[in-house]
Amino acid sequence: MLTDAKVKAAKPKDKPYKLGDSGQLYLYVSPAGGRHWRMNYVAPSTQKQKTLSFGSYPTMTLAEARAARDAAKKILSAGRDPAIERRVARKEQAQSDANTFESVAEKWFELNSGWSLEKLREYRAANSDKWSWKTARHWTKKPAPWSAVHSADVLKSLESDVFPSIGSLPIRSLEARAPLLLEVLQEVEARGAIETAHRLRQRISGVFVYGIAAGLCGADPAASLGKALAKKPRSKPQPSVIDGIQKQEDRLRAIKNMLAKCEAQRCRASTKLALRFLAFTAVRSNELRFASWAEFEGIDWGNPHTPAPEALWRIPAARMKGDDERKAEEFGDHLVPLAPQAVAVLRVMWLLSAGLPYVFPGERHLHKPISENTLRALLIRAGYYQRHVPHGFRAAFSTYMNDRPLSERKDGDREVIDLMLAHVPEGKSGSETAYNRAGYMDRRRELACEYADLIGADLCDPAEHLGKPIRYAATGPGRLAA
C-alpha cells in the first residue's frame, strides 16, 4: 500500500509507471512528472476492463483518492458504471450552472406577465433602452395574471436590485445561501425602502417556488427572510376631508365646501363634473375613469327632461378591484343606482363626449380616459393637498352615512353601504356573495339619493360649467382675482 511519503517521493522516469495501492487504486506517474490517481475496474454492462481517473497529486491527496475509489466501488456494487455516472453528473451540473437565478426569474416573469422578454429587448435596443408599461403592446404575448403596470414594476426591481448581485449564480447554489439573499434585501432596506425590500423578498421567493415546480431547485431560501427585515410601516389611509371631524354637520360642511372650492377653479367643465360624479357615486377613481356610455341603463339620452328613476350604472366585473375569481364572476357586475343629481351630470357629459369611448375623456387624447392625476390635481389646486384625494370620497360617504342618527337609519344599512362600496364582507369569498350583488337595490337607491341631496344641495346646475374660462390669464392678478 502507498503512503504519503511514497507518493511524494515518486519521481518521473523515461517511461510511465504505476505505484499500486489497494482496491485497484494506483498512482500513474508520467515521464513529464505528472502524478495521477486512477483505478481499473470491470464495466458491469460490457464486462470489459476500463480505467477511471480521479485527479492529480498533490491537488488530490492519498486519502481523498481512496475516498473517491470507495465511492466508485459503491456505484459498481449497485451494478452501475462509475464513468457513466460521472458523465451524467457533469451534464446535470452543467445544466444546473446554466439555470442561473436570472434565467429562472425570466421564465417566472414571462409566465406571470405574458411578456416576451426577447421582444422587449429588441424594443429597448431600438429605443435607446427606453421603455414603459405603456409600450407593452409591442411585446405582450398573451393575457396574463399581472397587469402591465405591475409587470414593469417587478422587472425594474429585479434588474436594479437583484440581478446585479445574484443573477449570474446558479439557482441551486443559492438554496443554502440565505445570508447572501438577506444581504441583497438589506441593501434595499438601508436606503429606507422597507416596503420595497419586503416586496422584493416576495418576488425572489416567487422565483424559487417556480424553480421548485420546474425541477430547477429544491428549496426556497427566501421564504422566511421577511422575519429578518425591519417591520413594514403601517400603511396610512388615504386622506379624506372629514378625517378627525366628529360632528355630522361639520363633516357635511367640509364636503360641501370642498366641492364648492373645486368647482370654483378654472379648468375643463368635464373635470369638475367628473369630481362631482365621483362624490355622488363613491366609486373608485379607476372605475370612474374607464366608464363607458354602454354601462349606463335607464336613461333616455334623447330627451334630457325625462325623469330616470331607475337609472343604473353597471360596472363590469372585469373592471372591479379584486382577484381573478372576482373579475370572472358570472353575475359579478357592480350595480350603482344613480341619484337624479348624478344623472344630471351624465346628461351634460353626453353633450360633450357622446360617441367617444369614455364618458370622461382625456384633455389631449379624446380616445383615452381622463388621466389618473387630473382629479387629484384639481383637489390640490383647491387647497386640499394631503387633506383629500379622490379615494377619500369613499371614506366620506361611508363615515357620514354610517354615523347618521338611529332615527335616520334602517336595520342592515351598514351592510347595504358596504355593498354600495363593493366591499366583500370579511371572511367571505367573491363567489359566496355574488348572488347578493344586485340585492337591496331599493334601499341602495334611497341612500344614494339621500346622500346626493345632502352634499349637492348648494351646487349649481352642472350645465352652468359649460363655456366657462378654463385657464387663468397670462398677465394680471390671475388666480387671486378669479
Mean pLDDT of the chain: 89
Domain boundaries, the chain: 4-96, 99-228, 248-481
Alpha-carbon span 296 to 281, nearest angstrom? 13
- Chain centroid offset of residue 256 CA: 36
- Residue type for position 427: G
Which of 103-112, 322-331, 404-413, 466-475 has the lowest average pLDDT?
322-331
Long-range interactions of 435-442: CB distance < 8 A, separation 24+: 435/331, 437/329, 437/331, 437/332, 437/333, 437/334, 437/335, 438/331, 438/335, 440/412, 440/415, 440/416, 441/335, 441/337
The share of the chain scoring above pLDDT 70, in percent, equals: 91
Q: Over 60: is that where the pLDDT of 476 sits? A: no
- Residue pair 285/372 in contact (Cβ under 8 Å)? The answer is yes
Q: Over 90: is that where the pLDDT of 119 sits? A: yes
Q: In what order do the strands lie in the sheet with 312-315?
A: 296-297, 312-315, 334-337
Cα–Cα nearest to 445, from 201, 291, 290, 280: 280
**pLDDT (0 to 100) of residue 191:** 93
Alpha-carbon span 347 to 281, nearest angstrom? 15
Q: Over 90: is that where the pLDDT of 137 sits? A: no
Can you name the CATH fold of 4-96?
Double Stranded RNA Binding Domain (3.30.160)
Please state the pTM of the whole predicted model. Answer: 0.58
φ/ψ of residue 64, rounded to 5:
-70, -35
Q: Which residues pair with 53 in a beta bridge?
A: 38
Q: Over 90: is that where the pLDDT of 372 sits? A: no
φ/ψ of residue 20, rounded to 5:
-80, 145
**pLDDT (0 to 100) of residue 482:** 37
Query: What does the H/E/C string look like for the chain?
Result: CCCHHHHHHCCCCCCCEEEECCCCEEEEECCCCCEEEEEEEECCCCCCEEEEEEEECCCCCHHHHHHHHHHHHHHHHCCCCHHHHHHHHHHHHHHHHHCEHHHHHHHHHHHHHCECHHHHHHHHHHCCCCCCHHHHHHCECCCCCCCHHHHHHHHHHHHHHCHHHHCCCEHHHHCCCHHHHHHHHHHHHHCCCHHHHHHHHHHHHHHHHHHHHCCCCCCCCCCCHHHHCCCCCCCCCCCCCCCCCCCHHHHHHHHHHHHHHHHCCCCCHHHHHHHHHHHHHCCCHHHHHCCCHHHEECCCCCCCCCCCCCCEEEECHHHCCCCHHHHCCCCCCEEEECCHHHHHHHHHHHHHHCCCCCCCECCCCCCCECCCCHHHHHHHHCCCCCCCCCCHHHHHHHHHHHCCCHHHCCCCHHHHHHHHCCCCCCCCCHHHHHHHCCCCHHHHHHHHHHHHHHHCCCCCCHHHHCCCCCCCCCCCCHHHHC
Give the pairing of strands 296-297 and 312-315. Answer: antiparallel
Phi-psi region of 427 (alpha: psi -120 to 50; beta: other; left: phi over 0): left
Q: Over 60: is that where the pLDDT of 477 sits? A: no
Q: What is the pLDDT of residues 287-337, one digit of tens each?
A: 999 999 999 999 999 898 899 999 999 999 888 876 555 555 556 789 999
Mean pLDDT for 102-119 is 94
- Chain centroid offset of residue 329 CA: 22
Q: Give the Cα-Cα-Cα angle 296, 437, 415 (nearest 5 degrees).
A: 115
Q: Give the Cα-Cα-Cα angle 413, 416, 419 (nearest 5 degrees).
A: 155
**pLDDT (0 to 100) of residue 236:** 72
- Residue type for position 93: Q
Mean pLDDT for 357-366 is 92
The pLDDT confidence band at residue 429, using thresholds 50, 70 and 90, is very low
Mean pLDDT for 148-164 is 94
Q: What is the pLDDT of residues 187-246, one digit of tens each?
A: 999 999 999 999 999 999 999 999 999 999 999 999 999 999 998 877 678 899 999 999
CATH architecture type of domain 99-228? Orthogonal Bundle (1.10)
**pLDDT (0 to 100) of residue 437:** 61
The share of the chain scoring above pLDDT 90, in percent, equals: 74
Mean pLDDT for 439-450 is 93
Mean pLDDT for 383-392 is 95
Q: Could you tell me which CATH class the domain 248-481 is placed in?
A: mainly alpha
Alpha-carbon span 176 to 343, nearest angstrom? 62
- Residue type for position 241: V
- Residue pair 230/182 in contact (Cβ under 8 Å)? The answer is no
Q: What is the pLDDT of residues 60-99, one digit of tens each?
A: 999 999 999 999 999 999 999 998 888 877 776 666 556 8
**pLDDT (0 to 100) of residue 237:** 80
Mean pLDDT for 251-279 is 96
